[in-house]
Structure 1
Amino acid sequence: MATLKDVAVLAGVSVKTVSNVVNGYGFVKPENRRRVEDALSATGYRPNIGARNLRRGRTGFIALVVPELSIPYFGELAGGIIAAAAEHDWNVLIEQTQGDRDRERETIAALGPHMVDGAIISPQAVETADVALPRVPAVLLGEHPLALPLDHVGIDNVTAAHTATRHLIDAGRRRIAVIGQHPTRGTAVQRLAGYRQALREAGLPEIVAPALRYHHHDGAEAMAALLAEGDPPDAVFCFNDMLAFGAIRAAVDHGLSVPHDIAVVGFDNTEHSAYSVPALTTIAPDKAALAKAAVDLVRRRAGGDTDLPPQHVQIPFVLEVRESTR
C-alpha cells in the first residue's frame, strides 16, 4: 500500500505538502497541488481513516438507534444519515430496538466515547426515568417525550395531521377515520391532536381506530374493523404509509374502490407510496434535511460546542396529493 512518503517522492514535494493536499488544506501552491493529485492517482494512495481518527481523538463512528429498519421510513432515514455522516468521515453503527423499553434503555446506556463519537436516537418506549444523559453528544428524533437536555430534530406533527385531515374535508369527505392512535407514543398523540382539531373546526365526528404497531397487517385489521361497523367511513387518515397500504388492501378486499368509495392518506412519503396502486397521498417530511440536521448537531457537539442550550430543529413537510384521494 502506498504511503505519504511514496506520493511525496513521486511528486517531488515534501510529505507535509502531500498531507496538506490529502486533508484538504488550502495553502498549497496550485502547481504542487496538481503534482500531488497526479501522484495520488498514480500510486493509488488511500488515507488510513482509522489512524487519522485516532490523531483527531475520535472513533470515526456515530450510532443510530431506531425501532425497526423493516419500517421503510426508518430504512430511508438511515440511508440519509449514512450519506450525511460520510461527508464528515463518519461511519454509522445501527441498532434496532423493536420499540422495546428495556432494549432502548440498555442501548442508550451502552453508548460511550470509547465506542462512538455521538448518537442519533429515535426513542419509542423508554421513559425519562429509565435513562441517564448519554455519555456522548446525542440528538433525539421524533416526538417521544424525554425530558433530557438534548438537541432534537422533528416536524410539526400537529400541523401535518391537520393538513392531511383538512385535505380530506376539502375533498368533501364527512366520515373521516384515523388509524394509528396510540395512548403514549409521542408522534401518535400529536397527530391525533391535529386530526381532532381539523374535525372540530369542521363540526365532524371523530372515528378512531387504534394500532399499537404500524405494519401492513395492523392497517388492514383496523380498516376491516371500521368497515364492519354500521356506518363505515368515507375516508381514512393513517399515521404512516404502511398502515395506509394495509388499509387500502382491506378496502379492496371488501369490494370498495379507492378513492371513489373511501379516500386514504398516509404519512412519511416512503418510496413505495408513489408506485402503489392507487398511488398514495401522504405527508412528506424532508427526510434528507432531517438527516443532515441531525448529523450536523452531533458534529457541532462533538467538536466541543457544548455551551449552547439544547437546539430544536423543525423540518418542513408537504402534502403529496396522489390518486388515493382524487
Structure 2
Amino acid sequence: MPKAVRMADIAQKIGVSTVTVSKALADKDGVSDEIRAKIKETAQQMGYQQTSSTHKSRQGGTGNIGILVAARFVDAGSNSFYWELYEKVVSRLLGSDYYGILELLQEETEQGLVLPRVLQDNKIDGLVVIGQISDDYRRMLQEKMLVPTVFLDAYDSCGTGCSVISDGYYGMYAVTNYVLSMGHRDIHFVGTINATSSISDRYFGYCRAMTEHGIAVTPEMVLPDRDEHGDIRFSLPEKFPTAYVCNCDITAYKLIDQLKERGLSVPEDISIAGFDNYSVPYISAPDITTYAVDMAGMARACVDALLHQIHHKHTTAGMKIISGHLVVRSSVKNRSI
C-alpha cells in the first residue's frame, strides 16, 4: 500500500514551508495567488488527500490541537526555549495535517482551576501542555480528561497521564561528570530545586555524579535561581566555587553577567556549564558547555503519542524520555593541567 502524501512532502517538493502549504490548501491569507495555485496543483498531482476537512469531520473531529503554555514561561520572552519547543510541535502537527491553537495559561486561570478556553469551546481533538503547571491544575485536567492530553517537558510524581520529557537526570549527570573530569571538585548547582520537575531531575543527576566521586552535596552548594513567579534572579554568595553547573542555559548566561559585574571572568576565574543548548543571542558571553536537549525529538514523540491516543481511544498512557547529548565548549577550564 503506497504511503499517504503529507503536507510536508508537498512543501519539500515545491521548496516552501509546511505552514505555507497548510494555509494554501485551507485558502487562508498569507499566500500569494501564484504560490497557492502551484501548491494545489502539486498536491493534486501527488495524490494528496485533504483529511482535515473530510476524514476528520466524518469522525467528528476538528483537525485542531490545543497547545497550553503557562504565561509565566513566555511573558516578555522570559524563556524563549518554550517558544522554540512550541514551534516544533506546531510544525510536527502541520506535517500530520493538524493545526495547533496556542493558549497562554494566565496565573488567575491556573489558580482558579478554570478550564482553558480551547477546552471550553470544544474546538480541539487533543491537548498538549508545555512546561510545568500546578499540581492542582494538572489534576483537574486529568480528572476531567475532555480530550486526549500529553504533557511536554513536565510530569507529576504520580506518573499518571502521558508525558514526554528530556533526560534531565542523566543529562546533568553527564554535564557534572565532565566538569569533574576537568579537575574541579568544588562544584555548585544553580537552580531552584522544587520550582519544576525538570530542575529537580537535573539536581539529582548532579548529586549522583558528585556522590560517585565521594563529594557530599550540602545545602550551601545549591544557588536558587528564580522566585515564586518563575522569574530568574539570584543573589551571589561572598565565596565562590571553582565551577557552577546551571539548570538551564539562560540561567548560565545571566550568572556569567553577574560574575562579570564582580570582576570575574569565565572560564579563567570560574567555570560554567549549562543545560538545553539554547543560545541567548543578546548576551555577550563565552560559548558554554551544555547538554543539548533534542527538542525536535521531544516534539515528534509528543505529537505521535497524542495522535495515537486520538485514533486509539483506549491507549495506555505512559512517560517517554528523550535523550540528548553533551556539547563541550570553552566555558569550563581544565584544572588538571
Alignment pair present for 1:93 and 2:107: no
1:205 Cα deviation from its structure 2 partner: 4.9
Which residue in the other structure is 1:280 paired with? 288
Cα separation, 1, equivalents of 2:282 and 2:210: 27
Which residue in the other structure is 2:67 paired with? 64
2:192 to 170, 181, 184: 181
| TM-score, reference length from structure 1 | 0.75
Secondary structure of the structure 1 residue equivalent to 2:274 = strand
1:48 Cα deviation from its structure 2 partner: 9.5
Which residue in the other structure is 1:14 paired with? none
Cα separation, 2, equivalents of 1:166 and 1:74: 27
CA change 1:177–1:107 in 2 (3 A) is: farther
Which residue in the other structure is 2:13 paired with? none
Could you tell me the percent identity over the aligned residues?
25
Which residue in the other structure is 2:126 paired with? 118
1:60 Cα deviation from its structure 2 partner: 1.6
| CA deviations over 1:269-301 (Å, ceiling 9, x no partner) | 114379953112111111101001100111111
Query: Is the CA contact 1:99–1:125 (under 8 Å) kept in the aligned structure 2?
Result: no
2:162 to 151, 157, 168: 151
| TM-score, reference length from structure 2 | 0.73
Which residue in the other structure is 1:308 paired with? 315
1:113 Cα deviation from its structure 2 partner: 8.2
Cα separation, 1, equivalents of 2:214 and 2:282: 32
Counterparts of 1:125-136 in structure 2 under 5 Å?
Answer: 125-127=133-135, 129-131=139-141, 132-136=143-147
1:134 Cα deviation from its structure 2 partner: 2.1
The structure that has the greater radius of gyration is 1
Alignment pair present for 1:172 and 2:186: no
Secondary structure of the structure 1 residue equivalent to 2:204 = helix
Cα separation, 1, equivalents of 2:271 and 2:106: 30
2:203 to 192, 195, 203: 192
1:112 Cα deviation from its structure 2 partner: 5.9
Which residue in the other structure is 2:297 paired with? 289
Which residue in the other structure is 1:28 paired with? none
CA change 1:203–1:101 in 2 (3 A) is: farther
1:114 Cα deviation from its structure 2 partner: 2.2
1:299 to 279, 299, 307: 307
1:195 Cα deviation from its structure 2 partner: 1.1
Query: Is the CA contact 2:82–2:130 (under 8 Å) kept in the aligned structure 1?
Result: no
Secondary structure of the structure 2 residue equivalent to 1:145 = coil
Query: Is the CA contact 1:111–1:134 (under 8 Å) kept in the aligned structure 2?
Result: no
Q: Which runs of 5+ in 2 are unaligned?
A: 1-24, 26-39
Taking only aligned residues, the RMSD between alpha carbons, in angstroms, comes to 3.4
Query: Is the CA contact 2:176–2:209 (under 8 Å) kept in the aligned structure 1?
Result: yes
Aligned residues: 282
Secondary structure of the structure 2 residue equivalent to 1:152 = strand
Cα separation, 1, equivalents of 2:228 and 2:284: 18
CA change 1:187–1:193 in 2 (3 A) is: same
Counterparts of 1:76-91 in structure 2 under 5 Å?
Answer: 76-91=84-99
Which residue in the other structure is 1:317 paired with? 324
CA change 1:103–1:80 in 2 (3 A) is: farther
Which residue in the other structure is 2:232 paired with? 218
Cα separation, 2, equivalents of 1:214 and 1:274: 25
